[in-house]
Each structure stands twice: as structure tokens, then as C-alpha cells.
Amino acid sequence: MEIITVTLNPAVDKKLTLGEIAPGGTNRCVLERVDFSGKGVNAAKTLAALGLACRAAGFMGKGDAARFAETLAALGVFCDFTPISGEVRTNIKLLEDSGRETEINESGPVVKEAEISAFHENFAQSRGRGSVFVLSGSLPPGVPARIYAELIETARASGGRVVLDASGEALNFGVLAAPYAIKPNVAELERFLRDNQAVLPSFDGELKSDARIKEAARAVAGLGGVSLAAVSAGERGAYFVTKERAVKARAAGRLDVKGTIGAGDAMAAGVAAAIFKGLDLDETARLASACASAAVERDGTSAGAAAEIELMKPRIILEEI
């Protein structure tokens, strides 16, 4: 069996390093880096680094398929994308000397109904190969917000367990389809609560404390019978919440941060790997947090190596909340 990641809106990430952005003026970069990316693709990189059998699925522009397949195959990821007529989007990351990052993300190609149907058919045929699925990222134009919910139902029909890393309407619908785990960040969890005020009537617009994040994560997970809510919170660490327990995880000491883009995807991969291996909550929190911490010490959206993740695991501090 293998882990299948789904990226419906893959991207070519172009990271440009420059001294300081001059709005309205001419800006010249001093360093350029290009990564083949997308949230599910990034998760697949981490899963492959962990030595797990991984298949990357989703939509892929016909003109981009060979570049993605060659890059991912070199990392140990098998590509099983559904071809579409549009081109993969390009996302621009501007990194200043101060460490401030600015993102400019294209919305992605318009996907046709026939292409969506072809993907559903491909996914249904391949679901038997996967025991764990990672559904993550934004949806390109033309793709309905309910698609993750539909894919969750398809995966669950064959006994698959799904990690959902989405936001907005895609998360709203997806939670109700009962994925095994969800992996929002704090801002995405707050947005969910604003969109669904009845879930936590006491929500006042922000989740500032550990207790409030635990309460919110448990309330959202309870809607669809989600077993685990993993909430990433940047420098604050991450929260791993089930019906019975909740732990906060963070790395001890100072990380050599080279970029935060892709850290959440690495965490989602860590959660999927933990589910695949049958780890308990503490082990899940430690592995997922180690994957994310190792990722921020890498340039671009490359995954931390297995040895780096193993070295990071003892540095992860767990706190019961």
C-alpha cells in the first residue's frame, strides 16, 4: 500500500531574493530559485524523504507533466496526474534581506468539466492502492468547492483515511465528509469559525490562547467525526487535538529558518506518515513537527532529509493542554 497525495492546483514556485522591495520602482533580484510545487506535491516530497511509497495525483498541464514527473521521480515519487489543457500556474515569492516574504500567487488554469470527470475516474481507479490520502491546497477556477468532500467519500468507501489540508469553502464542505484528520493553520481555523458561527458561538474573532485553539479544533473536528485536528501556528508551534487529548508541540532552541513556505505541507505529510505507521498522538505530534521544522531549514519547498528529520525529533517539546 502507498500514500496518495492530491494536488489540484500545482505550481511552479519562483523565489526571488532582493535587498528591499521598492514599491512602484524597479526591483532587481540577486538570487533566483525555482521549485516544482503545490501543497500536495510538497507533502509528497516529505513522504518520499521518509522512505514511504508515495503517489502524486491531481491536475497537470500537458506541457508541464514531463518536468514535474522527472523532478519528482528523482525524489522517489510516482506521478499519476490527470492531464488538462491549461498551464500550471506560477507563484512568485519575494524574499527581502529583512526576512520578510511576499507572495504573489496565480489563481491557476480553468479546469473543464470533462477534465474533472476524468480525474474523478482516475482517482476512483487508484484508490485501492492507497491506504492514506493527503488532499491539500487551493482549487483552480472551474473546480467546485465540494470536490474534496467527494474525494473523501470515495477514499473512505475503500477504507482509506484522509488528511485534509484546505481552507475556505473547500474546508467547510470537506470537514462534513469525515476525513480522518484535518490540518488547518490558525488563520484558516479562525476563518472556518467565522463562516460557521454556530460551531463555536463563543468565538470572538481570534484564537489567542492554547485553550481556545484546543476548544476550537475539537469543536470543528466534532462536526464530521474527524479523529485528529492538527493546527499549525508558526513560531508558536502546533496543536494536535483528539476527543481525548490535546498536545502542543514546538522545537526547542533556535531554528535556522531559510523559509516558511512548505512547512505546513511537511506537517501534513508527517501526520499522514504517522497514520500510515499507526503512531500514537505523542509520536504523531513529534514526527509531524519534526518534518515541519526540518523543512523551514531548507531553501524553497524542498523537504528535510530523513536524517535531518530524525535529528529534529528529540528537539520537539510536547506539552499537554
Measured distance CA(100)–CA(167) in Å, rounded: 23
Residue 302 DSSP code: P
Q: Is 145 helix (H, G, I), strand (E, B) or coil?
A: coil
Measured distance CA(39)–CA(53) in Å, rounded: 18
For residues 266 and 42, is the Cβ–Cβ distance under 8 A? yes
Q: In terms of C-beta density within 10 A (0-12 exposed, 13-18 middle, 19 or more buried), how is residue 267 classed?
A: buried
Which three cell numbers, joined as nine digits, stand for 142?
A: 472551474
Annotated catalytic residue, options 165, 204, 265, 280 = 265
Measured distance CA(41)–CA(54) in Å, rounded: 10
Measured distance CA(62)–CA(188) in Å, rounded: 32
Q: Which amino acid, 274?
A: A
For residues 21 and 96, is the Cβ–Cβ distance under 8 A? yes
Cα–Cα distances in angstroms (integers) from residue 309 to residues 20, 162, 222, 241, 251, in the given order: 32, 23, 31, 22, 12
Measured distance CA(88)–CA(111) in Å, rounded: 11
Residues 6+ apart with CB under 8 A from 245: 281, 320
Measured distance CA(44)–CA(73) in Å, rounded: 11
For residues 238 and 230, is the Cβ–Cβ distance under 8 A? yes
Measured distance CA(179)–CA(283) in Å, rounded: 20
Q: Residue 130: phi, psi to the nearest 5?
A: -110, 140
Measured distance CA(122)–CA(115) in Å, rounded: 10
Q: Is 280 a catalytic residue?
A: no
- Which residues are catalytically annotated? 265
